[in-house]
Chain A
Amino acid sequence: MIKKEMIAMLLAGGQGSRLGVLTAKVAKPAVAFGGKYRIIDFPLSNCINSGIDTVGVLTQYQPLRLNTHIGIGMPWDLDRNNGGVTILSPYEKSAGSDWYSGTANAIYQNIDYIDTYNPEYVLILSGDHIYKMDYEVMLDYHKENDAAVTIACMPVPWEEASRFGVVIADEQGQISEFEEKPANPRSNLASMGIYIFTWKILREALIKMKNVPNCDFGKHILPECLGGGERLFAYEYNGYWKDVGTLGSYWEANMELIDIIPEFNLYEEFWKIYTKSDAVPPLYVSGEGFIEKSIVCGNSTIEGSVINSVIGAGVTVEKGAVVRDSIIMKNTKIGAGCQVNKAIIAEEVTIGENCILGTGEEIPNKVNPKVYSFGLVTIGEDSVVPSGVQIGFNTAISGVTDAGDYPGGILAGGETLIKAGDRA
């Protein structure tokens, strides 16, 4: 019988609605990051670098991009005879078929998958954080403490602690209490959503709680384990960890990669981040091109200026265009003479000539001020923007737009322009 010491379950089914039009057609873990990567590459690479060769990826919302990206797991060396990566989507059962209604419910529905590998421990990951972590060290800590559950936690500034789920632990790290977004936090150790469970204990808890609606790790399983007298420990992590859940934090995390020596260093040989490579060819900078303080992926052609930006693979920046403080994803074309400021432009977008993206004052977004509120221009994938238009900040565009959609050639700050049916 196959026996794995620890397997990983990667929760990748969420939409990530706070990323607005970026996640209209793809699940958040499949959103591009740092030019050539996708967010899910980070936990997947961490797994293989930590020696975990069996990973179940739970998908639900818009899984196509994720499925094609992961494939048989070749880029991460997860194409294994024994183990490897498996995509676990919700499935029909003889009695009652369900979507994944919560994080723990998703794992509950895949108990059979986990049992196949007969593991001692199960690592629960989420597919929406940017970080490097050696899960093997965390497992050692789990074993040393003879713990039932180990929760990776990060000390956050006290004034921000009320935004997180915090754990209250003693000096040995043993957890005595949880607080979800407390008004007056008693601890600044925030849970990172990374758990190691002793499988036997998790299995029992999942079965016991199977009828709890929207069964969730933070809300149901962890309190249940704690209440049942199990040993829960906090594993303190002090490296780089970034939740890219909002457009603002997503933009910031990308921009941090540009620093001379970025805090999150992609150039480390001993902890490579793997991805399905879209582009083998080198990039080309023309005679008129100019690039400064930027990272640019292969197969891109830069004939204009790129300053302080992150450029994906196969991007074309035409003559006279100036791209500043922006993120441009793969195969997007920026027309000649455009000025692009503080924009996030998704994949396969065409921007016409002489457009100005990011201009004027910051006016709060009228439709969805919580999502589009960071002084950015956000353009969803496969969009088309006609030549000669001006677009203000805190705007969102999705779909094929034409001159008629821009009265007077302007999309004012705070406006949202979504053309295709159910995209939001």
Chain B
Amino acid sequence: MRAIGIILAGGNNHRMRELSSKRAIAAMPVAGSYRSIDFSLSNMSNSHVQKVAVLTQYNSRSLNEHLSSSKWWDFGRKQGGLYIFTPTITTDNNFWYRGTADSIYQNLDWLKQSHEPYVVIVSGDGVYKMDYNKVLEYHIERKADITVVCKEMPEGTDMSRFGVLKSDENGRVTDMEEKPMMTDSHLISCGIYIIRRRQLIELIERCALEDRYDFVRDILVRYKNVKKIYAYKTNEYWNSISSVESYYQTNMDFLKPEVRKYFLADHPEIYSKVQDLPPAKFNAGSHVRNSLVASGCIINGTVEDSVLFKKVFVGNNCVIKNSVILNDVYLGDNTYIENCIVESRDTIRANSRFVGEDSVKIVMEKNERYIM
């Protein structure tokens, strides 16, 4: 592969509400066994992008823990490898990352020392499968300065949480707005870009000189009429973990057979850190229907239309419906949970009841876990 990779995983998102209080968005658990960064990382690995930097800042510990070894995604090679860059204080710099462009600027040496001609920049919160080589081919064929991966969204989508583009019949981007309140376009940016390495260094350096820090606002939008920016349209599954609703929906999507087949059965596979948990255990009285159950779970109650992450314990006579139960949650006997996301490592006392009435409820109890 003639490209290196950058995964932007530094951000927080207030639309994730309490769920982002203890972890970076890129470390959000997805689909029972994964974390959101696994998708970008596996795409990099499967596209043979061998040298990848993860730029992380907000709650970076959660992500560092997940990335403690690069071997699970098949990095850790003599050629290339996985680099994790958190902000550091140097003689020239004592700032945190002030934006996505600034985070790249602060690691410009790494870009300059690489020799690959192209850079794939992706955000760490996307749930998708993509061969970046195809995007690169398109980029080279169009002689583009920057290629943005886009997806046409269905009518009625709330466009105010996306970057929105317009393109002409050749794919050239004619207009671009960041999170507009109103727009007549349904083409959104997936937060995946390809750009020539030297071009990127030049743009980022100029951006820094002007005290501008954001890659989308200060580079893409500002240069849209100057540089040849092309849209690469994808029709495959793509979702980003950018709000509680989209997070819940993404997890629920995995209950659909076509989504499971696409991500979990079809080649190439999505990798994640291996945790050596025993198989899931279903005791007498368990009744699980239309649900995903990860390894290490022990189930004694009823589970319907839900996603259970690793090591969830479901007590006797529990009923769980339409919910996402994150890693290592203990649900005491007779608990009723509907339309909820239960935060990881939580302990729910027996006889509790949590129901998300109008929207998904986030359950965070912070009870002490007693050794049973």
Q: In the complex, which residue of chain B has the Cβ closest to the Cβ of A260?
A: B283
Q: Are A296 and B279 in contact (CB under 8 A)?
A: yes
How many chain A residues touch the partner (CB < 8 A)?
Answer: 37
When distances are taken between beta carbons in the complex, the residues of chain A under 8 Å from B285 are 292
Among candidates A74, A290, A294, A311, residue contacting B71 with C-beta atoms closer than 8 Å: A74
When distances are taken between beta carbons in the complex, the residues of chain A under 8 Å from B269 are 280
When distances are taken between beta carbons in the complex, the residues of chain B under 8 Å from A292 are 282-287
Q: In the complex, which residue of chain B has the Cβ closest to the Cβ of A302?
A: B288
Q: Are B278 and A298 in contact (CB under 8 A)?
A: no
CA distance A286 to B32 in the complex (A): 15
When distances are taken between beta carbons in the complex, the residues of chain B under 8 Å from A297 are 279-280, 295
Minimum CB–CB distance from A191 to chain B (whole Å) comes to 29
Offer 16 A-B interface pairs, CB within 8 angstroms, sorted by A: A34-B279, A35-B278, A36-B279, A258-B281, A266-B278, A267-B278, A272-B276, A281-B31, A282-B32, A282-B293, A282-B294, A284-B291, A285-B288, A285-B293, A290-B289, A292-B285
Q: In the complex, which residue of chain A has the Cβ closest to the Cβ of B311?
A: A267
When distances are taken between beta carbons in the complex, the residues of chain B under 8 Å from A296 are 279-280, 282, 293
CA distance A311 to B278 in the complex (A): 12
| B252: interface (CB < 8 Å) | no
CA distance A63 to B307 in the complex (A): 39
Q: Are B291 and A285 in contact (CB under 8 A)?
A: yes
Segment 261-296 of A: residues with Cβ below 8 Å from B: 266-267, 272-275, 277, 280-296
Segment 203-241 of A: residues with Cβ below 8 Å from B: none
Known contacts: A75-B274, A280-B270, A280-B271. The answer to whether A286 contacts B279 by CB under 8 A is no
| B33: interface (CB < 8 Å) | yes
Q: In the complex, which residue of chain A has the Cβ closest to the Cβ of B32?
A: A282
* Sample of 13 further A-B pairs with CB below 8 A, known A297-B280, A298-B280: A260-B284, A275-B276, A281-B31, A283-B294, A284-B255, A285-B293, A287-B289, A290-B287, A290-B288, A293-B282, A295-B279, A299-B264, A306-B282
Give the interface centre of B33, B265, B281, B289 by most chain A CB atoms within 10 Å.
B281
Give the interface centre of A35, A74, A280, A295 by most chain B CB atoms within 10 Å.
A280
Q: In the complex, which residue of chain A has the Cβ closest to the Cβ of B287?
A: A290
| B149: interface (CB < 8 Å) | no
When distances are taken between beta carbons in the complex, the residues of chain A under 8 Å from B32 are 281-282
Q: Are B286 and A291 in contact (CB under 8 A)?
A: yes
Q: Are A298 and B286 in contact (CB under 8 A)?
A: no
| B82: interface (CB < 8 Å) | no
| B351: interface (CB < 8 Å) | no
| B292: interface (CB < 8 Å) | yes
Chain A 34-68 per-residue mask, 1 if CB under 8 angstroms from chain B, else 0: 11100000000000000000000000000000000
The 4 closest A-B pairs by CB, nearest first: A282-B32, A266-B278, A282-B294, A35-B279
| B34: interface (CB < 8 Å) | yes
CA distance A292 to B290 in the complex (A): 15
| B260: interface (CB < 8 Å) | yes
Q: Are A291 and B288 in contact (CB under 8 A)?
A: yes
When distances are taken between beta carbons in the complex, the residues of chain A under 8 Å from B296 are 267
CA distance A338 to B212 in the complex (A): 66
Q: In the complex, which residue of chain B has the Cβ closest to the Cβ of A35?
A: B279
Known contacts: A74-B71, A281-B32, A282-B32. The answer to whether A295 contacts B280 by CB under 8 A is yes
When distances are taken between beta carbons in the complex, the residues of chain B under 8 Å from A290 are 287-289
